[in-house]
Structure 1
Amino acid sequence: MPNRLATSTSPYLQQHRDNPVDWWEWGPEAFAEARRRDVPIFLSVGYAACHWCHVMAHESFEDEAVGGALDAGFVAIKVDREERPDVDAVYMQVTTAMTGHGGWPMTCLLTPEGEPFWAGTYLPRPQLMQLLRAVTDGWAQDPQRLREGGARIVAALEEAAAAAPTAGSAPPLVEDDLAAAVAQLAREYDHQWGGFGGAPKFPPSMVLAFLLRHHGRTGDPSALRIARDTCEAIARSGTYDQLDGGFARYAVDRAWVVPHFEKMLYDNALLLGVYADLARLDMGSRPWAERVVRETVDWLLKDLWTEQAAFASSLDADTDGVEGLTYVWTPDQLCQALGDEDGQRAAELLGVTPSGTFEHGTSTLQLRQDPQDPAWWRSVRERLQLHRTLRPQPGRDDKVVTAWNGLLIASLAHAGWVFEEPDWVDVAARCARFVLDTHVVDGRLRRSSRHGTVGAALGVAEDYGNLADGLLALHRATGDRAWLEEAGTLLASALDLFGQPDGTFSATGIDAERLVLTPRGEGDNAEPGGASSLALAVLRHGAQAADASHLDLAASALQAMAPIARQAPRFAGWALVAAEELAAGPLLVTLSPLPGSAEGPGAGADDRIGALDPLGTAARRGPTGVLVVDGDVALTSTGGVRTATVCRGTTCDLPTTAADALPSVPGG
C-alpha cells in the first residue's frame, strides 16, 4: 500500500512510495509526530538520479525488517535535496563536519527538534540495522545524552559560523587577486588529463567560465590553455556522451574514462555556455567545441524537454538497476550493430577493448581523435544511436527546478545568439515564460514543479539569481526589453527576500522555514551558490539597465566572497566570473537592429543569418564576458548602417559604426 510519499511532486520521493517504511515528507507534521511519540528522527536525503541512493533503497528501504525497525523507533523523513536545497545544505554541513566528507544518500539522526546527533552517507543494510538498534536502545535508556550531543553539535557549528569573516572585513577582489586565482589554478591543474585534482573528477564548468573571461580581459594565454585543454579532454572522453551528446555528472578516474552516468541539467547548462564561449573565442577549438554544443542542445531537446515547455532535472545513472547499462559496449556488441568491418573499426576509434574500460568487459565510448572519414563516422554514430534506443533507457526525473532552468535559459539563449540559431533562443524564451507563469505564486518564486503542478517549497537565492540571469540573457539575445523588465522585477523581490544590511545575500528568504542552522551559501560547488548567482545577476542587470546602484551592490556582495575566492578559487568559480566582469567595467555593447529587418524586439534574427553584418560578427568574436544586447530598438541605425554603443561601467562612448571600435582580446 503506498505511503505518504505517493502524493509528492518529487520523482525521488515517488520512488519510495511503496517502501515498507512509514515515510513522512519534511514538514511540521513530521516533527510534531516525533515529539508526540518521543522518538528520534531518521532523515534520509538523496535525489532521483543518484546511484548509491538506489543501492541503499534496494538493500534497506525495500526490506521489511528495516522498515519495521524504522517505524518502531523513529519518525522517518525522506527529502529530495533538489526540492529542499536548504535542508540539504544544513545537514550536509553537519555530515561534513562530523565525518570529514559528504555525499548522497545522506543519513542523519535528529532529535524531535531537528538537532543532529549522528550523520553519515551510504550504509549497507547490516550496518544500518546495527545503528538503528543501538540508537533505539540508547534513546530508550538515556535520551537526554543524545539530545545534549545534538545541542553541542549545533552550538559548535554556530560558533564556527560566527567566527567566519564578515562582509567588509576582507579587502575587495582586485585584478591582482584574479591573476593570483589563475596562478593557483595553474598549480592545481592536471597537465596530463585536464581538470583539477584526482579521482573522482568533476567538470569544473564555473572555473572554466572564469578562465575564459580572464583571458578575454587580459589576453593571458595560460588561462585559455587550461580552459581549452580541459574542455577538449572532457569532450573526447567517456564523460561526454559520444553518441547523443550531453555530459555525465563526474568521472571516477583522472582521465575522464568512466563517468558516474547520471546526467544533470545544471551540469549541461553550465558546460553548454562554456563550450559556446570557447568556440567563439578560440578559432582552433571551434570545430569540436561547436560540435559539442550542437550535440548537447539536440540531447537536451530530445531527452529533457517536457510537455510543459521546460527542462527536466536529470537522467538516472542506473538502467534496470545496473549502472551505465544504456551507455557501455563490448566489441561484439559493436559488430552486431554495425557489422564486423565497421564494428572493429568503431571499436578502435572509440576505445572499446576486449577487456573493457568499465565493468564486466564493457567499455565507455571515447573519441580521443577525430575520425579520418567524417562521413563514415556520421553513419556509424547514427546507427549506434538507433541501436541504443532499443536498449532499456535510464529513468528521468521530470520535475522542473527553477534554478537549473534559469541556467539553461541563459546558456541556450547565449548559444543561440553565438551560432545564429534563433530556434534555440525561442526555446529558451518558451521555457522562461513557463517558469514565470507557473513558478511565481502570489509574487513569490517557488523552487520546482512537476507536470505543471507547482511544489510547495519556496525558491531560494539561487532560484532567483539563475532565473534572473536567464531573463537577462534573453534580453541580450533578442533586444526585447520586456525580458529586462521581468528580470528587474524578480531581482527587486530577491533583494527584499535575501538582501542583508551589510550588502550580502542570504541563501534563504526572510520568509523561509527556520532550521536548526542557517544555510550557508558563500561558495560555489557543483552549481552556483545563491550569493554568487544573485551577485552576477545584479551586476549584469546593473549594466544592461544602467542601474549604478546595482553595480555597487554587486561589488559589495563580491567583497563578502573574497576570502574563499582567494583561498580556494576552485570553489568560487561563479563569484570569480562576476568579479572578472566587474573588473572589465562591466563592458556592455548595444547593437541597433540590423537595417532591413523588422524594427521590433527580437526581430532580425533570421535576417541576420548570412547577412553582411560586421558589427554583429565582431561582437560574436569579442571577448568572453562582454555583455552584448543585440537589436535594441532604442538605438537607431546611422545612414542605413548598423550602429553600436560601448559602455564601461557607467560611462558610454558615442555610437559607432566601426567594428574595430568594439572590445577585443588584448593581443588577439
Structure 2
Amino acid sequence: MNKNKLAQASSPYLLQHQYNPVDWWEWGEEALQKAKKQNKPLLISVGYAACHWCHVMAHESFEDEEVAHLMNTYFVCIKVDREERPDIDQIYMDAAQILTGRGGWPLNAFALPDGRPFYAATYFPKENWKKVLKNVHKAFTTQKEQLEDTAEKLTEGIRIGDLAEFEPTQEAIFTPSDYKDLLGSWMQFVDFEKGGFKGAPKFPMPNSWEFLIQYYAFTKNQSALEALIVTLNEMAKGGIYDQLGGGFARYSVDDVWLVPHFEKMLYDNSQLISLYAKAHQLFPNPFYESIITETINFAHRELQHKNKGYFSSLDADSEGEEGTYYVWKYEEVKAQVAPEDWDWFKSYFQLQAKGNWEDKKNILHLKQLPKKFASENQFKWQDFEEKVHSYKQKLHQIQQKRERPGLDDKILTSWNAMMIKALVDAAKSLQNKTYLNQAKATADFIYANLRAENGRLKRNFKNNKASIDAFLDDYALLIEALISLYQLSFEIHYLEWAKELMYICETEFFDEHSGMFFFTSSKGEQLIARKMELSDNVIPASNSVLAKCLFLLGHFYAADDLLEKSKKMLAQVEKKLYKSGPYFANWSQLAGWIANPFKEVAIVGKDAFEVAFKMQKNYYPNALFLGGETENLDLLKGKLVVGETRIYVCENKTCQQPTTDLQVAIDQFF
C-alpha cells in the first residue's frame, strides 16, 4: 500500500492518514506554492486523533478511491492536527463560525491558494461531500471573482474579530460588591438538578467550577455552593467518569452525564484533578479524594511517557466501535461477582439485564454517593469500600485484556503544564509529597526536551524530537504551572524560569493597542491573521491565564508594571464578565484577587518547606506563598531568623506579627 506525504509527520493524527489515497500534504510553504503554481484551491481538513467523527469521515470519504480522485484532481489537500497547530485551526474555525454559525471537528475549509478561506463547514457524509467537492470546483473555475470577494471579506472579518471591541483603557477596579455581582449571569445556565450547564451535550468545564470555589470562599453564597456540589457529585457518579479505571471522558452526549463521548484527554483530566483537589481543600470528602487518586493513577498508567512527560489522549474507539473498551454486558459482569453480592452490586453500578445503553450494553455509573448507598444497605463503610475496590480491580483487569483504544502519543507543552499544576494541587490537598515530586519530574522533562537553547519553548515532542514553535497557551500555562510549583516547593529556579518565559511573551506576543497577547509569536510563521484567545472554554483562554500570571509575578517581584498590565487586560473584558460569566470564569478569578485583600504569605527558616506544605492543605482564595531557607526575593529580605521558621502573613507589603505557630498564621489569614 502506497503512503502519502503524511508518512513523514510527527502527529499521530496525521500518521493515521498516511495510507489514504488522498494526496495529503502537511501545512507548509511547499503545499501553498503548489496550489499557486497549479491554480488550485486549498482543501484544509482539520481534526485530532481522539475525534470520533474525524474517524468516521476518514473511513467514509478519505479512504475511498472515488472521493480521493475528486480531491486530488481539484484541490491541494492539507491535513492539520488541531492540537499541534491550533493557530491554523483558529483561523479556519472562525471562518466556519462566520459562515455557518457553528463549528466542530472534522473541520473542512476551502481557501484560495494564498490561504484566504471562502467556505468552511464540519462533517459531511460521503455523497454530500462529493457534491461539495464538485460544487466548489465549479465555483472556483466559473465564479473566481465572487470567491475572491468572499475570501477578502471573510479574511477581514477573521482579522478584526478579536480586536473590534478593544480601546485603550485604564486598569480594572473591582470592589467586593462588583465581584458579588458576577454570579448573576451564571444562574440562567446552571443545571441545579444534574449539575453542569443546562442541556446536552454536557462538558465538564473545570475552570468554571473553580471560579465557584473561589466565589463561595469569598461570599459564602449558597447558590454557588449548591451549583458546585451538585456538579462535582453528578460528574463523578456519571458514566463520563470511568468507574473502573479512573479518569474522565471528554463530555457526555446527554444531559445527565451518563453516556460519554469516550475519548479521554489529558487537558480535561489534569484540570479535573485540580478542581476536585481544590474542592477537597475547602470541604474534605473521601469521595473526592478517591476521584483525585484514581484519575492520577489513570494518567500515570495510560498516558505517561517513560521520561515523565504525558501523552495527549486516548481514542473513543476500539474494535471499530466507540466505547467498546469501557462498556459491559450484564452477564459478563455477573460472572465476576459472588452471588451473595450481586443484588447490591448491580444496584450500586446501575446494571440492567437489558442494558442501560445501546445494544444491551451497560455503562457503569452510580445513582447514589458511596457512603449514602453503604448506609442505606446496612454496610459498615470500611467493609463496603473494600468489597467495591476488590470487584473494581477484578473487572479492570479483565477490561485491560480487551483491545485498547488508540493512544495519541505526542506530548504537548501546554497540556503537560496543566498536569504539573494538577499534581501540585493534588499534593497540597492530599498532603502527598510523591505528587509534588512527580510534578517536578514533568517540569524537568519540559526543560530538557521542549526548551530551546535561546530559552523559547517548543510545542510538541514525539520520537525524541520537538518540531513546532510554541504558542501563547504553551507559555501561559507553563508559567502558571511553574508559579504553582514554586509556591509548594520554594525552589526559586521554577519562579525564575516563569519570569524568563513571561519576558518572551512580552517581547514576542504582546499587542500594544489592546494590551492583550496574540496567540502566535511575531518571530514565527505569519498566517493570514494573528488571533487572540480571550474567552475561557474547556481550556481557559491563554490571555486570562497570562493576566493571572502577570498579577502573581507582579506580587512576587514587587513589579508594578506587571500588575498594571494584568489589570488593564482585565479591564478590556470587564463587561463580558457580567454577561457571559461561565465563558470568562478565569478572568473572574482574577477579578476576585483584585476585589478582595490579596495576601502574601512568607515562610522562612530551616523548616520552611514542611510548614508551607502543611499550611497549603487549606484552600486560600486570595494568596501566594513564598519562602525557603534564604532571602532570595526582595519580599523575603530581613525576615530570616537563624534557628526559627517564621510565618509572615502580609498584605500590600505590610505584615502582621510574625509567628512560629502554624495555627496562629492560619487564623491571621482568615
TM exceeds 0.5? yes
Are 1:379 and 2:390 counterparts?
Answer: yes
Q: Return the offset for 1:132.
A: 0.6
Could you tell me how far apart the structure 2 residues matched to 1:262 and 1:248 are? 5
Q: Return the offset for 1:633.
A: 4.0
**Residue number in structure 1 paired with 2:52:** 51
**Residue number in structure 1 paired with 2:623:** 626
Could you tell me how far apart the structure 2 residues matched to 1:48 and 1:514 are? 26
**Residue number in structure 1 paired with 2:439:** 428
Matched residue type, 1:588? E
**Residue number in structure 1 paired with 2:379:** none
Are 1:647 and 2:650 counterparts?
Answer: yes
Are 1:448 and 2:457 counterparts?
Answer: no
Structure 1 residues 498 and 567: alpha-carbon distance in aligned structure 2, compared to 1, 3 A threshold: same
In the alignment, structure 2 segments of 5+ residues that lack a partner are: 375-383
SS in 1 for 2:531: coil
Kept in 1, the 8 Å contact 2:551–2:566? The answer is yes
**Residue number in structure 2 paired with 1:362:** 361
Could you tell me how far apart the structure 1 residues matched to 2:619 and 2:210 are? 15
**Residue number in structure 2 paired with 1:310:** 309
Matched residue type, 1:627? L
1:502-581 equivalences under 5 Å are: 502=513, 503-581=515-593
Matched residue type, 1:626? A
Matched residue type, 1:316? D
Q: Which residue of 465, 468, 477 maps to 2:479? A: 468
Matched residue type, 1:187? Q
Q: Return the offset for 1:173.
A: 4.7
Are 1:291 and 2:274 counterparts?
Answer: no
Could you tell me how far apart the structure 1 residues matched to 2:170 and 2:103 are? 29
SS in 2 for 1:119: strand
Could you tell me how far apart the structure 2 residues matched to 1:665 and 1:58 are? 62
**Residue number in structure 2 paired with 1:390:** 401
Q: Return the offset for 1:517.
A: 2.8
Q: Return the offset for 1:189.
A: 1.2
Q: Which moved more, 1:652-661 or 1:394-403?
A: 652-661
Q: Return the offset for 1:574.
A: 1.7
Q: Return the offset for 1:631.
A: 4.4
Could you tell me how far apart the structure 1 residues matched to 2:359 and 2:461 are? 39
TM-score (norm 2): 0.92
* Cα deviation 1:122-159 (Å, max 9, x = unaligned): 11101001111111222223322222221222234445
Kept in 2, the 8 Å contact 1:172–1:558? The answer is no
* Cα deviation 1:388-429 (Å, max 9, x = unaligned): 111111111111111111111112122113322111111111
**Residue number in structure 2 paired with 1:329:** 328
Q: Return the offset for 1:17.
A: 0.7
Kept in 1, the 8 Å contact 2:518–2:532? The answer is yes
Structure 1 residues 318 and 172: alpha-carbon distance in aligned structure 2, compared to 1, 3 A threshold: farther
**Residue number in structure 2 paired with 1:242:** 243
Could you tell me how far apart the structure 2 residues matched to 1:228 and 1:638 are? 43
* Cα deviation 1:412-458 (Å, max 9, x = unaligned): 12211332211111111111111122212233211111132102x22
* Cα deviation 1:462-514 (Å, max 9, x = unaligned): 11010011111111111111111111111111111112224322222112322
Q: Which residue of 428, 432, 442 maps to 1:417? A: 428
Kept in 1, the 8 Å contact 2:172–2:570? The answer is no
**Residue number in structure 2 paired with 1:154:** 155
Could you tell me how far apart the structure 1 residues matched to 2:66 and 2:175 are? 59
Could you tell me how far apart the structure 2 residues matched to 1:481 and 1:650 are? 20
SS in 2 for 1:444: coil
Could you tell me how far apart the structure 1 residues matched to 2:598 and 2:640 are? 24
Kept in 2, the 8 Å contact 1:335–1:342? The answer is no
Kept in 2, the 8 Å contact 1:215–1:665? The answer is no
Matched residue type, 1:409? I
In the alignment, structure 1 segments of 5+ residues that lack a partner are: none
Q: Return the offset for 1:53.
A: 0.6
Structure 1 residues 77 and 650: alpha-carbon distance in aligned structure 2, compared to 1, 3 A threshold: farther
Q: Return the offset for 1:174.
A: 4.3
Could you tell me how far apart the structure 2 residues matched to 1:167 and 1:13 are? 42
Structure 1 residues 7 and 337: alpha-carbon distance in aligned structure 2, compared to 1, 3 A threshold: farther
**Residue number in structure 1 paired with 2:377:** none
Structure 1 residues 623 and 105: alpha-carbon distance in aligned structure 2, compared to 1, 3 A threshold: same
Could you tell me how far apart the structure 2 residues matched to 1:390 and 1:297 are? 21
**Residue number in structure 2 paired with 1:83:** 84
SS in 2 for 1:42: strand
Kept in 2, the 8 Å contact 1:480–1:632? The answer is no
Could you tell me how far apart the structure 2 residues matched to 1:3 and 1:302 are? 33
Matched residue type, 1:260? H
Kept in 2, the 8 Å contact 1:539–1:582? The answer is no
1:28-427 equivalences under 5 Å are: 28-158=29-159, 160-168=161-169, 172-283=173-284, 286-369=285-368, 370=370, 371-372=373-374, 373-427=384-438
Structure 1 residues 535 and 160: alpha-carbon distance in aligned structure 2, compared to 1, 3 A threshold: closer
SS in 2 for 1:187: coil
Identity of aligned residues (%): 32
SS in 2 for 1:589: strand
Are 1:485 and 2:499 counterparts?
Answer: no
SS in 1 for 2:187: helix
Structure 1 residues 554 and 380: alpha-carbon distance in aligned structure 2, compared to 1, 3 A threshold: same
SS in 2 for 1:507: coil
Could you tell me how far apart the structure 2 residues matched to 1:341 and 1:392 are? 31
Could you tell me how far apart the structure 1 residues matched to 2:469 and 2:539 are? 19
Kept in 1, the 8 Å contact 2:597–2:622? The answer is no
Q: Return the offset for 1:665.
A: 11
Q: Number of paired residues?
A: 649
Structure 1 residues 557 and 651: alpha-carbon distance in aligned structure 2, compared to 1, 3 A threshold: farther
Q: Return the offset for 1:578.
A: 2.3
Structure 1 residues 512 and 564: alpha-carbon distance in aligned structure 2, compared to 1, 3 A threshold: farther
SS in 2 for 1:224: helix
Kept in 1, the 8 Å contact 2:21–2:63? The answer is yes
Q: Which moved more, 1:352-361 or 1:420-429?
A: 352-361
**Residue number in structure 1 paired with 2:380:** none
Structure 1 residues 169 and 617: alpha-carbon distance in aligned structure 2, compared to 1, 3 A threshold: closer
Could you tell me how far apart the structure 1 residues matched to 2:220 and 2:192 are? 21
SS in 2 for 1:590: strand
Q: Return the offset for 1:240.
A: 1.0
Matched residue type, 1:453? K
Matched residue type, 2:385? P
Kept in 2, the 8 Å contact 1:247–1:267? The answer is yes
Structure 1 residues 169 and 57: alpha-carbon distance in aligned structure 2, compared to 1, 3 A threshold: farther
Q: Which moved more, 1:330-339 or 1:653-662?
A: 653-662
Could you tell me how far apart the structure 2 residues matched to 1:303 and 1:269 are? 13
Q: Return the offset for 1:659.
A: 3.8
Matched residue type, 2:550? V
Could you tell me how far apart the structure 1 residues matched to 2:318 and 2:512 are? 49
Could you tell me how far apart the structure 1 residues matched to 2:543 and 2:653 are? 24
Kept in 1, the 8 Å contact 2:460–2:466? The answer is yes
Could you tell me how far apart the structure 2 residues matched to 1:632 and 1:168 are? 42
SS in 2 for 1:333: helix
Matched residue type, 2:646? T
Q: Which moved more, 1:311-320 or 1:336-345?
A: 336-345
CA RMSD after TM alignment: 2.3
SS in 1 for 2:43: strand
Matched residue type, 2:516? T
Kept in 2, the 8 Å contact 1:406–1:466? The answer is yes
